[in-house]
Structure 1
């Protein structure tokens, strides 16, 4: 005697309809679950004004109510050449202060990331900072970055400014460097990170002005829930290198 369930084709029309409805319901429930499934933040790293170069230091800075605004460092530009207290003065800025990183943003170890010194000169400091902080975030999460090679990991970067392109354009040698096309565009910020770590998930640079980082994190969550990637690096970077925006 065969006690196995009837095959679908042997069921009556009404039972086939009920079975199809049940299968459709299961698929819908699975889809709805993926839309609301909790996403774990397993690692973080950062660079913020006030010497907050780790999440722990950032929390401490906020807890202590530290004012991280300081006078514009001379390594960025000579503030005396541009400052005027009158906001109506053309070609001048009426502030001497801002939120700036304490460490020198031109310091970078290219060989650590298998990048030549010649190429590193043409890489936007924002891209370099992303490489360093992303590496720290992975270590903070307990991952060995090299072991993510060929993994379905996505990269979502919020980035808006491209002032380094103006700076290098003023230097003749950098202006003709073959690495400008991969070192300066905003889209290269995410692509370089994916390439360096060998990641195969979605990779995109997002510019929505002040909300760029927030939108990047949102896109990462959407990609995870739609199973386009199994893990994601998401965040943003913003460096003021020229006085004009101020």
Structure 2
């Protein structure tokens, strides 16, 4: 009996991640299984820009194989590292599903990217008008995070960036599921990226009163006194689980939301 894709579970068929202390999903699972903390001081080479406050940091955010993606060195220099990271993660998620990315060109593949940070634009502003060129607008625009992926891979589904504050990535996944249910996308890439590149955004979070003075998060615990900033990214490749595809299924997707007393005080 045919399966109605509007009722079928949504399957996660590919996944990619770059997280503090974990360069890929398997490493992240090992980190959790071992009960290790990924919180520490920023890499020494970045502290002049970020300060030394503890957080969850990636080892490198300045490496990118521009030629691999057909991007010139000049354009790559103006690309927000969040755009670079999103592009890499989407490629890896597709490959994780056992699909050659080139096979998706011209197909209705949606891209939904969650993001809220604009630290690289702050750095660009410091460089002044002399550093502005034809690639600055597209390189710094957070709205192009998803569009960059769609353009580079030749995807023809919906493509946009979601800023829903801390829920940006989860909302991106929800919108991807809706796109699959409506038949706008055959498969969809969904996830989010966040990079802490300058101290300004951390100082703003501290002035707001959101950061833990102890440098530790205790989510939904009586001992909670704030959170610790982190960076990284993760992307999943989603498709309806109709039972007709030989694609490996990692899990089925679901989501929920928690109410809160204020924007600064979430509760379970």
In structure 2, which of residues 74, 94, 104 is the aligned counterpart of residue 118 of structure 1? 74
* 1:59 match: 29
In structure 1, which of residues 63, 73, 92 is the aligned counterpart of residue 43 of structure 2? 73
TM-score by length of 1: 0.77
For the residue of structure 1 that corresponds to 2:13, the secondary structure is coil
Instruction: Assess if the C-alpha contact under 8 Å between 2:16 and 2:93 holds in 1.
Output: yes
Q: Deviations over 1:192-244 (max 9, x none)?
A: 10000000000010000100000000000000001011000000000001112
Aligned length: 200
In structure 2, which of residues 3, 9, 12 is the aligned counterpart of residue 41 of structure 1? 12
* Alpha-carbon distance change, 65 to 235 in structure 1, aligned in 2, over 3 angstroms: same
| Unpaired runs of at least 5, structure 2 | 203-268
Q: Mapping of 1:176-187 within 5 angstroms?
A: 176-187=132-143
TM-score by length of 2: 0.71
Moved over 6 A (4+): none
Greater share of residues in helix:
1
- From the CA coordinates, give the structure whose radius of gyration is larger: 1
* Alpha-carbon distance change, 82 to 190 in structure 1, aligned in 2, over 3 angstroms: closer
Q: Deviations over 1:88-143 (max 9, x none)?
A: xxxxxxxx2100012x1111110000000000011000000011111111111001
Q: Which has the higher contact order (CA 8 A, sep 6+)?
A: 2
| Unpaired runs of at least 5, structure 1 | 1-29, 84-95
Q: Deviations over 1:117-170 (max 9, x none)?
A: 000011000000011111111111001011111000000000111110111222
Q: Equivalents in 1 of 2:5, 2:130: separation in Å?
A: 47
